[in-house]
Amino acid sequence: MQEFKMPTIDEIRNHPNPNYLEKNEIQRTLKDILDREEPHVESLVEDWVKKGVKNLYLVGCGGSRSIMEPGKYIMDRFSNLTTERYSAYEFVTRKPRAVGKGSIVVLASHSGETESVIEAAKFAKNMGAWTLGFTGKETSTLADSVDHCLTYDSPAANLSKLLMVYLVCTHLIIKLGDLEAGRDIMENLKKLPDTLMKIKEDFREKGLELAKEFKDTQMYYVVGSGLLAGVAYQFCICTLMEMQWLHAAPIHGSEFPHGPFEIVSPEVTMIFLLGTDESRMVTEKALKFAQRYGAKTIVFDTIEEDVHPMLTPFALGVMLQWFAYGLSIEREHPLAVRRYMGKVAY
Amino acid sequence: MQEFKMPTIDEIRNHPNPNYLEKNEIQRTLKDILDREEPHVESLVEDWVKKGVKNLYLVGCGGSRSIMEPGKYIMDRFSNLTTERYSAYEFVTRKPRAVGKGSIVVLASHSGETESVIEAAKFAKNMGAWTLGFTGKETSTLADSVDHCLTYDSPAANLSKLLMVYLVCTHLIIKLGDLEAGRDIMENLKKLPDTLMKIKEDFREKGLELAKEFKDTQMYYVVGSGLLAGVAYQFCICTLMEMQWLHAAPIHGSEFPHGPFEIVSPEVTMIFLLGTDESRMVTEKALKFAQRYGAKTIVFDTIEEDVHPMLTPFALGVMLQWFAYGLSIEREHPLAVRRYMGKVAY
């Protein structure tokens, strides 16, 4: 770790700014994970179910925390298995009493070296739980700390880990929950590599145009509900705050009229994420209110796209990434620039 | 509902600005709830446990959503009972599959008329769950929609409902979880009416002073972990956004270094909530980082106060209320002014 030195404007501008939406990277990594890890997950789940599964814990930080939300959603919707998600130090300090034999603890870390996630893996193992890691680094402390590990090799880290969460949850649903719903989701997961390539092309222009329009905005509220609440959170903390040093706050659509809406005015910019799950009307209601009272609104909507209602977080991930990439160009602030992360001690 | 008319500066300034911290209101309402409702909750829990409890759902919106977080925390920590919390429309649209016979569904609404909470009560009843309401209005649609109802009669709504959540969870812990921990919490809950009166006096001056210092701040980040994550959320959406029309975003302490900390700079104001549960060090680490890199920081810390480590959300509620009241004076913006809530259709 070095002493802190704020990067100069030139250092920021000249930082590399790779875009994983170019070429077929998202198709490649999702297909790779489906090919290698889907049968792996199926056999793990089969084995656990045979031995008796008591509950499921989904643990990660930041991006790796946000991807757990859709997993929790489909588990709640289509199974009776208790499913919890925690940021890693919350898990480690709270020490949930129900973690033990029969618990599956999923632990995600792109680097495989996130201290709190490693601690969470140790805690889970000590309690007798089964541990499953998701990581971008096959040789890493996390990989060494868990019973089993799923790996990817891609800069499209969140999409890769998101697919892994879906694989685990969907196989659990097939075995323990609503078989038909589980099979339907699994079938559509397998189409994702192609589905997303089309969405990516459909949305390129709109994403880049929006970035031109909003390049001077300094603060965003991002509203999502249901399957998309986690995506709203991810876009705030990972993209806007971490990668663009902009102010951001997620708002759950169901909470919008219970406090947050009092700040609606023409000075405020709000992003609304619309999917096709049961919560769509909740976010739509918030959007209409914000529009009626003059907030600047940006809408990302999957309704015109051919994506399964339970898989919209993938589509939104791609759509928002164009907007993020566009902002990085317009603002001359590459997505990979950091002032603190990986540079100074925390 | 009337047509929207933005209140004038004079209408805002001259709006009544009652302060429930004056006199002994918080002592009175907490004591009243303990006297009337604690035996009521005890007998309800006894009855449910006899019949077989499968899981617990805590449902509310805004302030009534935020108070559920500490309930979830102590349940996770001291019992094996599955405990979930949802904003009401999230609950209604997600329709968790495990809601049914043997589920306790707690539904909170100050007015007793929150549409989504009423819908949630109907859904829960249809699924065969037991329903328990918390409300400030004994004759209300919520009271008519649930099997049992706990009531309070106080402007200190969040503290009153928070006590109710603790009563339900603590009795469940006593019956189904860590008996000793449950009894310890119950004993300390009964001391709260007096404990909080002292904290209220201890903190008056500091809260009002801080408000003078920060009266021109337009945006706050509020950082909390563990038992206090819900308090951070509540202060953002209910106090800063709803009651002061200021920008605000909660950050979980465990998530701070995984994205959010990249916006730390001398231009940013961050409030840190420190309690004495296991997560204290998580928030402390974030605080030290923010201080090291020059953010303006405000710290609310319970460590000098005589409050049980599992009951710090009550103490923080009182501390933050002084700051909120101070802001309302300094900014000439009474806490009860609304532009939309209760005034225009949503």
Q: What is the pLDDT of residue A318?
A: 97
**At residue B52, does pLDDT exceed 70?**
yes
Q: And the tokens for A192?
A: 């994702």
How far is the C-alpha of A251 from the C-alpha of A260, rounded, in Å? 7
Neighbours of B4 (CB within 10 A): 12
The answer to whether A87 touches A117, Cβ cutoff 8 Å, is: no
The answer to whether A121 touches B104, Cβ cutoff 8 Å, is: no
Residue B199 pLDDT class (50, 70, 90 cuts):
very high
The answer to whether B177 touches B78, Cβ cutoff 8 Å, is: yes
The answer to whether B264 touches B286, Cβ cutoff 8 Å, is: no
Q: What is the mean pLDDT of residues B161-181?
A: 98
**At residue A180, does pLDDT exceed 80?**
yes
Pick from B79, B279, B285: CB nearest A90? B279
Place of tokens 């770790």: A1
SS3 content of chain B, % helix, strand, coil (to 5): 55, 15, 30
Q: Which of residues 52-81 of B touch A (CB under 8 A)?
A: 55, 61-65, 73, 76-80
B341-to-B50, B62, B87, B345 alpha-carbon distances in Å: 42, 12, 18, 8
- Return mean pLDDT, chain B: 97
Q: Which residue of B has its CA nearest to A340?
A: B262
Between the CA atoms of B101, B104, B110 and B111, what dihedral angle is there, to the nearest 10 degrees? 10
> How close, in Å, is residue B35 to chain A by CA atoms?
30
Does residue B89 belong to the interface with chain A, where contact is any CB pair within 8 Å?
A: yes
**At residue B2, does pLDDT exceed 90?**
no
Bridge partners (DSSP) listed for residue B107: B59, B133
Neighbours of B51 (CB within 10 A): 10
Place of tokens 């409030």: B271
Q: Please name which of A196, A177, A224, A230 lies closest in space to residue A70, comparing C-alpha atoms.
A: A230
Q: And the tokens for A296?
A: 């600047």
Q: What is the mean pLDDT of residues A130-139?
A: 96
Q: What is the mean pLDDT of residues A48-56?
A: 98
**Could you tell me the strand order of the sheet in which B296-301 lies?**
B247-252, B219-224, B269-274, B296-301
How confident is the model over B103-161, as pLDDT tens digits?
999 999 999 999 999 999 999 999 999 999 999 999 999 999 999 999 999 999 999 99
The answer to whether B271 touches B223, Cβ cutoff 8 Å, is: yes
ipTM: 0.97
**Inter-chain CB proximity A247 and B247 less than 8 Å:** yes
Q: What is the mean pLDDT of residues B205-228?
A: 98
Place of tokens 């619309």: A274
Q: Which of residues 300-329 of B touch A (CB under 8 A)?
A: none
Q: Which of residues 208-267 of B touch A (CB under 8 A)?
A: 219, 225-226, 229, 236-238, 241-243, 245-255, 257-264
Q: And the tokens for B52?
A: 């077989």
How confident is the model over A72-129, as pLDDT tens digits?
999 999 999 999 999 999 999 999 999 999 999 999 999 999 999 999 999 999 999 9
Q: Which residue of A has its CA nearest to B263?
A: A245
**CA max distance for chain A:** 58
Bridge partners (DSSP) listed for residue A226: none
- B-chain residues within 8 Å CB-CB of A4? 293
How far is the C-alpha of B301 from the C-alpha of A73, rounded, in Å? 35
Give DSSP secondary structure letters for B45-102.
Answer: HHHHHHH---EEEEEESTHHHHTHHHHHHHHHHH--SEEEEEEHHHHHHH--TT-STT
Q: What is the pLDDT of residue B3?
A: 77
The answer to whether B99 touches B57, Cβ cutoff 8 Å, is: yes
**Inter-chain CB proximity A346 and B261 less than 8 Å:** yes
Q: And the tokens for A68?
A: 């757990």
Residue A2 pLDDT class (50, 70, 90 cuts):
low
Pick from A78, A258, A264: CB nearest B61? A258
What are the residues whose beta carbons fall under 8 Å from the beta carbon of A344, sequence distance 6 or more? A1, A2, A3, A4
Residue A200 pLDDT class (50, 70, 90 cuts):
very high
Q: What is the mean pLDDT of residues B75-87?
A: 98
Rounded to the nearest angstrom, the gap between the alpha carbon of residue B246 and the centroid of all alpha carbons in its chain is 19
SS3 B272: strand
Does residue B25 belong to the interface with chain A, where contact is any CB pair within 8 Å?
A: no
How confident is the model over B314-341, as pLDDT tens digits?
999 999 999 999 999 999 999 999 999 9
Q: End-to-end CA distance of chain A: give it in Å, rounded.
A: 10
A90-to-A95, A115, A234, B2 alpha-carbon distances in Å: 8, 13, 18, 45
> How close, in Å, is residue A35 to chain B by CA atoms?
30
The answer to whether A289 touches A265, Cβ cutoff 8 Å, is: no
Q: What is the DSSP letter of B333?
A: -
Residue A1 pLDDT class (50, 70, 90 cuts):
low
**At residue A3, does pLDDT exceed 80?**
no
SS3 content of chain A, % helix, strand, coil (to 5): 55, 15, 30
**Inter-chain CB proximity A225 and B89 less than 8 Å:** yes
Please state, for a pLDDT cut of 90, what percent of chain B lies above it: 98
The answer to whether A85 touches A72, Cβ cutoff 8 Å, is: yes
Please state, for a pLDDT cut of 70, what percent of chain B lies above it: 99
Does residue A285 belong to the interface with chain B, where contact is any CB pair within 8 Å?
A: yes
Q: What is the mean pLDDT of residues B3-14?
A: 92
How far is the C-alpha of A235 from the C-alpha of A250, rounded, in Å? 8
What are the residues whose beta carbons fall under 8 Å from the beta carbon of A339, sequence distance 6 or more? A4, A6, A7, A245, B262
Q: Which residue of A has its CA nearest to B284?
A: A346
Pick from B226, B238, B293: CB nearest A259? B238
**At residue A16, does pLDDT exceed 80?**
yes
Q: What are phi and psi of A24, to 5 degrees?
A: -115, 30
**Inter-chain CB proximity A262 and B340 less than 8 Å:** yes
Residue B1 pLDDT class (50, 70, 90 cuts):
low
**At residue B302, does pLDDT exceed 80?**
yes
* Vertex A327 angle, CA A325 and A330, to 5°: 115
How far is the C-alpha of A150 from the C-alpha of B286, rounded, in Å? 31
- B-chain residues within 8 Å CB-CB of A63? 258-259
The answer to whether A170 touches A188, Cβ cutoff 8 Å, is: no
**Inter-chain CB proximity B62 and A255 less than 8 Å:** yes
Burial category of A7 from C-beta neighbours within 10 Å (exposed 0-12, middle 13-18, buried 19 and up): middle
Name all domains of chain A by residue range, CATH numbers in brackets: 25-191 (3.40.50.10490), 195-330 (3.40.50.10490)
How confident is the model over A272-316, as pLDDT tens digits?
999 999 999 999 999 999 999 999 999 999 999 999 999 999 999
- B-chain residues within 8 Å CB-CB of A76? 84, 94, 96-98
- Return mean pLDDT, chain A: 97
Rounded to the nearest angstrom, the gap between the alpha carbon of residue B206 and the centroid of all alpha carbons in its chain is 22
SS3 B149: strand
